[in-house]
Structure 1
């Protein structure tokens, strides 16, 4: 069952206009989407979490809907500041923040830059950002698929192949993600990620971390599954969801909901 039609709230910090959805009541959780994608990816998850007694805040990244502002020359620090503005506008601090895929980099940057705003960080199908020797954690062919699947100029069949390769576990239908891509936002986020040293956000401040992993994730591979905990210690809790790839949320929404709901309530 889809969510009822919801009107986004809008704020105007600095040169930007930021929109966000605010649903439910109870302990709050801020959800940040994957690269080039918006809060609609969390519609089903939001409905499930609201039913669990949580308040869900879903900011729209710049370039999506009413969220508008400079789109070039940005870093992850700028994108984290956008989320901080939403948290402050709703007087939520400290609040739990969950970042899916690319969103995990924004969540970790927020926890680093503004630790007073963050109660805990959930990393949902999240790349570590680097390997133990400081290199890139990404398989080049998988990364190529991450960006090609949102290339609306490519044929549908080719995009489906890239979606299957990068985001969905074997046997799962990737067609739900043929829509919902925002190329201008994706390009902005890719530039911001490239412009931000991994060590700026790697430690995730000092917040407790739920590392919610997908067992068939090709973007965040299993050989790095213990790296964050080995690096950051006992404040990292690992939970693995089977039969899911990098998309995770549309693949196993009930399991993601249960993990996040238990974690948020424990934080409170």
Structure 2
């Protein structure tokens, strides 16, 4: 995490403790990573957001770091309950919840089930409505199968997660197959209609222009579903990975939203 001596908090939950990395001071922002990946994906964004005057919490998914491994039949509601516990333990009032890719499903489920804890949502690469193509499904399976040669997995990372010409090697590692399987089961166990609208929370959808997994039609469908409750920002030259591809543009969009929401709540 971004600080030399990151604060680490263990948050008690019904399913065992969740480890969260904390940095900065100010209104709480919680960041949830992509499928099968850990909190470290937010190192750069957490640093930038904390420097802008916010307290950032990055929980490790179950089974990573010191977070308890899942020992139950997961749903997006059980994963959202973990996020609610983090907000309650760390925050002072409702939080802005940032979800990257798979994390935005958990973020929207949290806003649906625990509206009093969520001030607003930031959805980085907001998919889940338009099914992925078979080609992208094969790429995902290749990435998470450690029996495949490293070069084949990296090629799949490039095709599925990065815009043409961007360097996928920054995400050569950090893939956790067991975590991804549990998260996929949680998706199967939860109808899209349960979480898609994000409750009643205001939302910012940060849409990568070259996303092959959460294609831009997902953001269009969200606008159609909830209208002006969602604002869409398109990031050029970015694929599903987004965070390592365009860190400055992502930070600008996220911090701009946070400042807008902070001003709104002061009125």
Query: What is the TM-score when the length of structure 2 is the normalising length?
Result: 0.94
CA distance in 2, matches of 1:71, 1:106: 18
Q: Aligned with 2:144: secondary structure? A: coil
Q: How many angstroms does 1:14 deviate by?
A: 2.0
- 1:135-178 deviation line (CA, Å, top 9, x unaligned): xx211211231232132221011001110111001011111111
Conserved? CA contact 1:112–1:206, under 8 Å: yes
- 1:5-59 deviation line (CA, Å, top 9, x unaligned): 4242102222311110110012221100000111111111111222222211101
- Which residue in 2 is equivalent to 1:104? 104
Cα pair distance change 1:110/1:265, threshold 3 Å: same
Conserved? CA contact 2:126–2:219, under 8 Å: no
- Which residue in 2 is equivalent to 1:59? 59
1:82-93, aligned counterparts within 5 Å? Answer: 82-93=82-93
Q: Which runs of 5+ in 2 are unaligned?
A: 263-267
Conserved? CA contact 1:23–1:55, under 8 Å: yes
CA distance in 1, matches of 2:144, 2:53: 34
1:201-240, aligned counterparts within 5 Å? Answer: 201-240=195-234
1:33-72, aligned counterparts within 5 Å? Answer: 33-72=33-72
Q: Aligned with 2:129: secondary structure? A: coil
1:153-232, aligned counterparts within 5 Å? Answer: 153-232=147-226
- Which residue in 2 is equivalent to 1:264? 258
Q: Aligned with 2:44: secondary structure? A: helix
Query: What is the TM-score when the length of structure 1 is the normalising length?
Result: 0.93
CA distance in 1, matches of 2:61, 2:55: 19
- Which residue in 1 is equivalent to 2:265? none
CA distance in 1, matches of 2:255, 2:122: 11
CA distance in 2, matches of 1:71, 1:253: 35
Residue 237 of structure 2, aligned match among 238, 243, 249: 243
Cα pair distance change 1:57/1:243, threshold 3 Å: same
Cα pair distance change 1:185/1:241, threshold 3 Å: same
